[in-house]
Structure 1
Amino acid sequence: MTARVKAIVLSGNGTNCEREVAHACQLAGADADIVHISALLAGRVRLDDYHFLNLAGGFLDGDDLGSAKAGANRLIHARVAGRQDSLADDLRRFIAAGKLVMGVCNGFQLLVKMGLLPSFDGDFRQNCTLTFNDRGRFENRWSRLQVNGSSPCVYTKGMADIYLPVRHGEGKFVTDSPATLARLEQEDLIVVRYADVQGRPTQDYPDNPNGSVAAIAGICDPSGRIFGLMPHPEAYVHRTHHPRWTREDLPEEGMGLQLYRNAVDFIAAELL
Structure 2
Amino acid sequence: MAKTVRAVVISGNGTNCEREVAAACRLAGCDVADIVHIAEFLAGRARLDDYHFLNLAGGFLDGDDLGSAKAGANRLLHARIQGSEEHLSDQLRRFIADGKLIMGVCNGFQLMVKMGLLPAVGGDHQSQSATLTFNDGGRFEDRWTHLKVDSASPCVFTRGMDGVYLPVRHGEGKFVPASDEVLAAMEKRHLCVLKYSDPSFQTTALDYPANPNGSVAGIAGVCDESGRLFGLMPHPEAYVHRTHHPRWTRDSGLSEEGMGLWFYQNAVRFLRETVL
Q: TM-score range by the shorter chain?
A: over 0.9
Alignment partner of 2:221: what SS? strand
RMSD: 0.7
The counterpart of 1:228, out of the listed 227, 231, 234, is 231
Gaps of 5+ in 2: none
Alignment partner of 2:123: what SS? coil
The whole-number CA distance in structure 2 between the counterparts of 1:258 and 1:175 is 27
What is residue 7 of structure 1 aligned with on the other side? 7
The counterpart of 2:262, out of the listed 255, 258, 262, is 258
Displacement, 1:85? 1.6
Q: Deviations over 1:13-70 (max 9, x none)?
A: 0000000000000000101000000000000011000000000000110000011000
Displacement, 1:197? 2.0
Displacement, 1:83? 1.6
Alignment partner of 1:190: what SS? coil
Displacement, 1:2? 1.1
Displacement, 1:122? 2.9
Q: Which amino acid aligns with 2:274?
A: E
Identity of aligned residues (%): 69
Displacement, 1:89? 1.3
What is residue 45 of structure 1 aligned with on the other side? 46
Tell me whether 76-85 or 203-212 shows the greater mean CA deviation.
76-85
The whole-number CA distance in structure 1 between the counterparts of 2:99 and 2:116 is 17
Q: Which amino acid aligns with 1:107?
A: G
What is residue 177 of structure 1 aligned with on the other side? 179
After the TM superposition, which residues 113-262 of structure 1 pair with which residues of structure 2 at under 5 Å, given as runs? 113-123=114-124, 124-202=126-204, 203-249=206-252, 250-262=254-266
What is residue 271 of structure 1 aligned with on the other side? 275
Tell me whether 119-128 or 60-69 shows the greater mean CA deviation.
119-128
The whole-number CA distance in structure 1 between the counterparts of 2:119 and 2:94 is 17
Q: Deviations over 1:51-100 (max 9, x none)?
A: 00000000110000011000000001100112212111111110000000
Equivalenced residues, count: 272
The whole-number CA distance in structure 1 between the counterparts of 2:218 and 2:120 is 20
**TM-score normalised per structure 1:** 0.99
The whole-number CA distance in structure 1 between the counterparts of 2:23 and 2:6 is 13
What is residue 27 of structure 1 aligned with on the other side? 27
The whole-number CA distance in structure 1 between the counterparts of 2:173 and 2:200 is 23
The whole-number CA distance in structure 2 between the counterparts of 1:271 and 1:58 is 29
Displacement, 1:121? 2.7
The whole-number CA distance in structure 1 between the counterparts of 2:63 and 2:23 is 25
The whole-number CA distance in structure 2 between the counterparts of 1:3 and 1:82 is 33
**Residue 101 (structure 1) aligned with residue 105 (structure 2):** no
Alignment partner of 1:9: what SS? strand
The whole-number CA distance in structure 1 between the counterparts of 2:241 and 2:200 is 24
